[in-house]
Amino acid sequence: GQQLNQSPQSMFIQEGEDVSMNCTSSSIFNTWLWYKQEPGEGPVLLIALYKAGELTSNGRLTAQFGITRKDSFLNISASIPSDVGIYFCAGLNYGGSQGNLIFGKGTKLSVKP
Amino acid sequence: NAGVTQTPKFQVLKTGQSMTLQCAQDMNHEYMSWYRQDPGMGLRLIHYSVGAGITDQGEVPNGYNVSRSTTEDFPLRLLSAAPSQTSVYFCASSYGGRRLSFGELFFGEGSRLTVL
> Tens digit of pLDDT per residue, chain A (113 long)?
668 999 999 999 999 999 999 999 998 998 999 999 999 999 999 999 999 999 999 999 999 999 999 999 999 999 999 999 999 999 987 655 555 788 999 999 999 98
Q: What is the mean pLDDT of residues B22-35?
A: 95
What pLDDT does residue A94 have?
Answer: 63
What pLDDT does residue B100 have?
Answer: 65
Say which of B31, B103, B109 has its CB closest to residue A33: B103
Taking 70 as the threshold, does the pLDDT of residue B25 lie above it? yes
Q: Please, which contacts does A99-104 make with residues 24 or more away whose CB atoms are closer than 8 Å?
A: A99/B45, A99/B48, A99/B56, A99/B57, A99/B58, A101/B45, A101/B103, A101/B105, A102/A2, A102/A3, A102/A4, A102/A25, A102/A29, A103/A4, A103/B42, A103/B43, A103/B44, A104/A4, A104/A5, A104/A6, A104/A23, A104/B42
Say if A107 is an interface residue toward chain B (CB within 8 Å): no
Three state DSSP letters for B33-52 = EEEEEECCCEEEEEEEEEEC
Q: A33 and B33: CB-CB below 8 Å?
A: no
Say if B41 is an interface residue toward chain A (CB within 8 Å): yes
Query: Do residues A2 and A25 make contact, with C-beta atoms less than 8 angstroms apart?
Result: yes
